[in-house]
Amino acid sequence: MRKTIPVVLCCLQLAVSVSASPIRPLSDIHGATLPHGQWFVPAGVSNPTPHSAGWQFYDNPTWPNEEGPGWGGSADSAAISGYITQYSTLSGKITQFTVQAAITNDTYDWEGPLDGTAATYGTFTAPVIAGQWMEPLFNAHLTANFAGKNSSASSNIYAVDYDELAFQGTSTSEPPVAGANGSFAVPTWTFGDIPPEGSTSRLLTFKFKTPVGPGDPLYEWVTWSYENLMDVFASRTRTVKIPMFPAGPVYDDGSAWPDFAGSYSCNASVFYDEKQSLGMRLGDNTAFGHYWWRGMYRGPTEMMQFRAYAGHAGKVDVSGVTLKASGTGNDKTDISAVTVYLDENESGLIDTGEPLLGAGAYDADDGTCTITFTSPATVPSPTIWGIYFVVAYTLNIGVQPDKTYKFELESVRATIAGTGTGVMTYGLPVASCTKNVIATPGVVTIGQAKKLSLGSLFILQVEPVIGEVGGNTFIEEPNCAAGIAVALSTPLWKRLWVPQDSFVTLVGRIGVQESDGQAFVKDPMIVPQYGFVVPPPVLMSCRSVGGGTFGLQRGTVDRVGFDLVPEKPSMGLNNVGMLVTVCGKVRYATWDAVWIDDGSGLWDGHLDDLGAPVPGLKVALPQGMVYGWLPAPKLNDFIHVTGIVTTQVYLDSPAEPKPLTKVVWPRQESDIVVDMPAM
């Protein structure tokens, strides 16, 4: 609830978000003999010297609608936006308002044309934007196309305390002549250099020549925007430079062109210069944190993949890097070599034949390592993906356990290709993964791992991957003695796809998931294995699914709820995490599960629509059946199911810890087979 006061200050918050939104080179304009930059002159200077900006940025929405394409970036249509937060009144009429303007660079990579972005500028045209590259906005300018330069302008709104005036018109002269088919009349503010994902903000002030009161469209524009936090600025790609002056007020609802037509398509514009620059970011295949111990591979191991990319302005040579170390280990004495490779196939790994660019060592513990390349690596321009590098560590054999090592890519030596002239770099620092040095872990079976103390580290050798269900990947002993979940959502080695029916050796720690009570392997480091045969599922009754407590894996219950106190615990060997086959009659079905009964007398606490207990073993439905892409089993169907044994916490029990009921998760739709349809 806002407090009503006689004089209200109104602030228009203008957010210009530039970083994933489309950009256009103004030299693409056709229809005249000369390129058409956007020209500016300093405000308040006698006989000012004009200067131009060669690129324009837009605030397209990210997603298309029925009317036209989107082609916006991460900031969506808020790339250029305004939210009125204060205004001043006198005798009930608005006299001025203030704008908090912010430019956030969110330019993005896109290979190929942005259909629907062709534009017109008077009698001239600009073609479809051919592609997009991430790059800084150098010397960014924002123009207020709805405001005049002083109280004598034709617009009722005029700006004060602006930096420059922008030319509005279609003159073919470079620079244009003031007064010839346009004039330097549009208020402009400068925002400096803005790297991708960076932002800059300023306060802008506007006044009304004639104060506006209730019933005036400008009064409604200000007050409605203020009360409802409406975006009041738009600038779509179908416009070039300043298409109309003065432009009218607008509420930007985020829709795509051509919803914003005529002057309403662009009442604020952003222009910038382009210079040679180099952007840095972590590679998609960068190494994740991992374990290392004596006896492991002693050569260089990957710590980081990083990517360098240039904008439109030209090629850039990378001739060296500087790293800043951290961690609990002594970087000077424990790390024998730091090496940088050109990652030609972008794998994130040091592959055979990939060139070594340079090597070095740290000058102190937590110190720096400066590496000069034997020859520069040239980043092409423009390019969508740039080039990739891998940084690796080689540890000394005498490194002691319980130490960690990591670093940040602190700086990159980059110059205009072939000249030695420095360029702007951005996106730094970039952080590496963490290398954890540990004592050599023991090799155990899955069953032995479940009996270790919580958090213990171990090795599981040559285990088959039986599937991925419920957010976990599951592995099983080759002899079907035990199975366990592996949490791959936050791996500590690499983003490694571990397909069903493959084999792995892994290092990890034993844990118990609070959400479902399952023992699992956390923080895994995984190495694929090949040439082994995956064991078949184990056929068992519904009652045999689950089993009694085994180590950290608590046992399940066969019957729970319905005033059954105490619950009836499951008996027999624990098979949670294993691949099994069960069969039975479908006794109940929901949108994401069915309950099958083979006469085992199971109750897991679920109630039907009438509040009666549902008998049977719960079977979770695969995604295709949940979303209706494939038919799901129906009531009274006889089916057999192959799936992984998991658990579910029964929260309605008064017992502590809460009992675990059993659930079989099929890995894919073909794991559910209807043997006899319901009659």
Residue pLDDT, tens place only, 153-181:
889 999 999 999 999 887 777 788 766 65
- Mean per-residue pLDDT, 254-269: 67
pLDDT at 10: 39
319-348 tens-digit pLDDT: 999 999 999 999 999 999 999 999 999 988
Decide if 59 contacts 78 (C-beta within 8 A): yes
Which of 270-279, 291-300, 490-499, 580-589 has the least mean pLDDT? 490-499
Show Cβ contacts of residue 14 under 8 Å, excluding neighbours closer than 6 positions.
80, 81, 82, 83, 99, 100, 101, 102, 142, 204, 233, 268
pLDDT at 3 over 70: no
Alpha-carbon distances of 177 from 53, 166, 272, 307, rounded to whole Å: 16, 12, 21, 45
pLDDT at 528: 72
The yes-or-no answer to whether 278-437 and 442-529 have a common fold is no
Task: Just give the CATH number of 278-437.
Answer: 2.60.40
Rounded Cα–Cα distance for residues 561 and 569 (Å): 12
Alpha-carbon distances of 587 from 63, 143, 607, 613, 636, rounded to whole Å: 45, 68, 12, 11, 6
Other Cβ atoms less than 10 A from the Cβ of 281: the count is 18
pLDDT at 661: 96
pLDDT at 584: 97
Q: What is the mean pLDDT of the chain?
A: 86
Confidence of residue 59 (pLDDT cuts 50, 70, 90): confident
Confidence of residue 13 (pLDDT cuts 50, 70, 90): very low
371-421 tens-digit pLDDT: 999 999 999 876 667 899 999 999 998 899 999 999 999 999 999 988 888
Confidence of residue 456 (pLDDT cuts 50, 70, 90): very high
Minimal CA–CA distance to 206: which of 222, 191, 190, 192? 222
Decide if 335 contacts 326 (C-beta within 8 A): no
Decide if 485 contacts 519 (C-beta within 8 A): yes
Query: What residue segments make up the domains of the chain, in order of their start?
Result: 11-273, 278-437, 442-529, 538-676
Show Cβ contacts of residue 351 under 8 Å, excluding neighbours closer than 6 positions.
344, 345
User: Would you call 9 helix, strand, or coil by DSSP?
Assistant: coil
**pLDDT > 90 in the chain, percent:** 52
> Where do we find the tokens 């290392």?
292
Which of 67-76, 305-314, 422-431, 648-657 has the least mean pLDDT? 67-76
Helix extents (H) in 616-679: 623-626
- 561 vs 383, more confident: 561
Superfamily of segment(s) 442-529:
Nucleic acid-binding proteins (2.40.50.140)
Torsion of CA 490, 493, 499, 505, to 10 degrees: -120
Q: What is the pTM of this model?
A: 0.68
Token duo for residue 253: 């609802």
- The DSSP-derived string for 436-496 is EE-PPPEE--HHHHHTSPTT-EEEEEEEEEEEEETTEEEEE-TTSS-EEEE--SS-SS---
Confidence of residue 603 (pLDDT cuts 50, 70, 90): very high
499-545 tens-digit pLDDT: 788 888 888 899 999 999 999 998 888 777 777 788 899 999 999 99
469-512 tens-digit pLDDT: 888 889 999 999 999 999 865 433 334 556 788 888 888 899 99
Token duo for residue 209: 């020549």
Alpha-carbon distances of 160 from 95, 157, 186, 209, rounded to whole Å: 13, 10, 12, 12
pLDDT at 240: 87
Rounded Cα–Cα distance for residues 578 and 484 (Å): 7
Architecture of the domain made up of 538-676: Beta Barrel (2.40)
pLDDT at 463 over 60: yes
Give the number of residues written for the chain: 679
Token duo for residue 308: 């360098």
